[in-house]
Amino acid sequence: MSASIFEKHSHNDGSWLPRPAGAETEVLACLPEALRRRTAPKLPTVSELDVVRHFTTLSQKNFCIDTNFYPLGSCTMKYNPKVLDAIAASTAFSQIHPYQDEEQVQGALKVLYEMQKLLSEITGMDEFTLQPAAGAHGEFCGLLITSAYHKSRGVTKRKVLIPDSAHGTNPASAALCGYEVVQIKTDVRGLVDRADLEAKLDDDVACLMMTNPSTLGLFEEEILEIARAVHAKGGLLYYDGANMNALVGICRPGDMGFDIVHLNLHKTFAVPHGSGGPGSGPVGVKKDLIPHLPRPRVLKKGGAYAFEKDAPASIGKLRTYYGNFGAVIRSYAYILALGAEGLEGIARNAILNANYLKEKLKDIFELPYPGPCMHEFVASARSQKAKGVRALDIAKRLLDHGVHAPTVYFPLIVEEAMMIEPTETESKETLDRFVEILRSIQQEIDQDPQKVLEAPHTTPVSRMDEVRAARQPDLRLR
């Protein structure tokens, strides 16, 4: 009869349970006496169950799109299908190396090449680079291309025109590239002031940077005339694609007269936004600007794909490898899954949701631009401020109801601004609940404003000194 498991593992003293193999003693023997502890470290003694519960509870304190409504204007914080994560994590993509020979990664190069073509078709551009790592990086890329284009023609231009409603990264990117920033006013309709534009549009203007629809959620009705005016002065028209979620499948920047486009894959094309993962800011251009795109681009020669080898007029390489590959994979799969009809549905449903909310809230907040909006709109808490409650206070109170605040105090041209973008992924039930929450907060402002002024009450951290928190963050785990 064979020995039992107990006999097989028994020790000399009759015990069969495993014993330490003396590894700890061997390690200590290698350490100099001066480096050895004299007393045992004071480490907490907790069970695995307690550890798991602790970190699970911490994860549930995170505010994210997977758990709560997130109407953050001008950022398109929408739900992203989880199947895209699985596709991007496929070993066919995740376990290749960017330095592998081109012959070994033909599938990956094909995806990159086809993504360039898909984005070109969606935007009306002639070619794309997928290198830029985020929207602001895309702006930087576009302005470097602008500079290279003018220099190739023997022209030096020093100014970039930017509307006063633009994203703050626009003037920052222009200044970083050595341009003088000239601000263009917004008219009473919320659109670019044509008179102010024409007064400042001269032969020294390198480009006009525009977001369309603007951060006010309004489509620039005179965009064709604006494009003709800029081109007549030898300038380029740059498209900030942060709000492309309102246009996909309906109209294209290239058809409006834009020469350069940057897109945010982490806004419009289903890549996790913010701390959820890396961004991606591809840049597309019209034909005359193609030589200045960053290198390398993926080209197709015959039936094979390869990186561009010769690009003497290129602005150079903007980052390692070829952009954030995992982000591109997610967006590539998202675009193919939706198709032309699905992409159009994104924009139409986003516009419908925004206008629905706008109409539902017009009796609570002032609307500086009351007409129809695109995918987002800007309300003003000016009347609430007259009662002692600011937009910031309303934003903090929303957290108690499990709703993230909309963007507040931007754009700067609207007093007590609240920029609201519901996106296309939210249901009517969610939007109705949001309206009811804001109505209840308005009732508190009228009857018990202190409850709003002291909010939030139920979050892990209460109201903070925001300036001090930004400059002296307390990151200790309590």
pLDDT score recorded for residue 38: 86
Q: What is the DSSP string of 347-414?
A: HHHHHHHHHHHHHHHTTTSB-SS-S--SS-EEEE-HHHHTTT--HHHHHHHHHHTTBPPPEES-STTS
Q: Is residue 305 part of a domain?
A: yes
Does one domain contain both 312 and 379?
no
Domain count, the chain: 2
Nearest-angstrom CA–CA distance, 358 and 299:
46
Q: Is residue 333 part of a domain?
A: yes
Copy the structure tokens of residue 358: 């706008």
The domain that contains 412 carries what CATH number?
3.90.1150.10
**pTM, whole model, 2 decimals?**
0.88
Does one domain contain both 178 and 280?
yes
Q: Is residue 102 part of a domain?
A: yes
Q: Average pLDDT, stretch 126-148? A: 96
Does one domain contain both 257 and 317?
yes
Domain boundary among 303, 338, 373: 338
Does one domain contain both 273 and 354?
no
Over 70: is that where the pLDDT of 7 sits? no
Instruction: Look at residues 321, 305, 419 and name the one whose alpha carbon lies nearest to residue 96.
Output: 321
Q: At what angle do helices 391-400 and 428-447 cross, to 10 degrees?
A: 120
Instruction: Look at residues 300, 298, 260 and name the one whose alpha carbon lies nearest to residue 281.
Output: 260
Nearest-angstrom CA–CA distance, 385 and 365:
11
pLDDT score recorded for residue 24: 63
Q: Is residue 398 part of a domain?
A: yes
Q: How many Cβ atoms from other residues are within 10 Å of residue 49's Cβ?
A: 8
The domain that contains 96 carries what CATH number?
3.40.640.10
Q: Is residue 61 part of a domain?
A: no
Q: At what angle do helices 169-176 and 135-152 cross, to 10 degrees?
A: 40
Does one domain contain both 287 and 384?
no
Instruction: Look at residues 426, 420, 416, 428 and name the one whose alpha carbon lies nearest to residue 376.
Output: 420
Nearest-angstrom CA–CA distance, 265 and 175:
24
Least confident of 53-67, 348-362, 416-430: 53-67
pLDDT score recorded for residue 410: 95
Does one domain contain both 402 and 333?
no
pLDDT score recorded for residue 417: 98
Domain boundary among 338, 354, 389: 338
pLDDT score recorded for residue 437: 98
Residue of higher predicted confidence among 406 and 28:
406
Does one domain contain both 334 and 359?
no
Does one domain contain both 397 and 463?
yes
Over 60: is that where the pLDDT of 9 sits? no
Does one domain contain both 170 and 218?
yes
Does one domain contain both 449 and 300?
no
Does one domain contain both 442 and 405?
yes
Cβ contacts of 422 within 8 Å, gap of 6 or more: 71, 350, 353, 354, 356, 357, 430, 431, 434
Span 280-315, pLDDT tens digits: 999 999 999 999 999 989 999 989 999 998 899 999
Domain boundary among 317, 338, 359: 338
pLDDT score recorded for residue 215: 96
Q: Is residue 247 part of a domain?
A: yes
Query: Are the beta carbons of 366 and 382 closer than 8 angstroms?
Result: yes
The DSSP letter of residue 314 is -
Nearest-angstrom CA–CA distance, 376 and 358:
9
pLDDT score recorded for residue 322: 83
Query: Are the beta carbons of 328 and 280 closer than 8 angstroms?
Result: yes
Binning pLDDT at 50, 70 and 90, where does residue 59 land? confident
Q: How many Cβ atoms from other residues are within 10 Å of residue 156's Cβ?
A: 10
Q: Is residue 45 part of a domain?
A: no
Q: Average pLDDT, stretch 256-279? A: 88
- Segment 453-460 long-range contacts (CB within 8 Å, at least 24 positions apart): 453/388, 453/389, 453/393, 455/393, 455/396, 455/397, 455/399, 455/400, 456/396, 456/397, 456/399, 456/400, 457/400, 458/399, 458/400, 459/399, 459/400, 460/61
Query: Are the beta carbons of 307 and 108 closer than 8 angstroms?
Result: no
Residue 425 belongs to domain spanning? 345-471
Q: Is residue 228 part of a domain?
A: yes
Span 376-389, pLDDT tens digits: 999 999 999 999 99
Q: What are phi and psi of 292, to 5 degrees?
A: -95, 0
Does one domain contain both 129 and 156?
yes
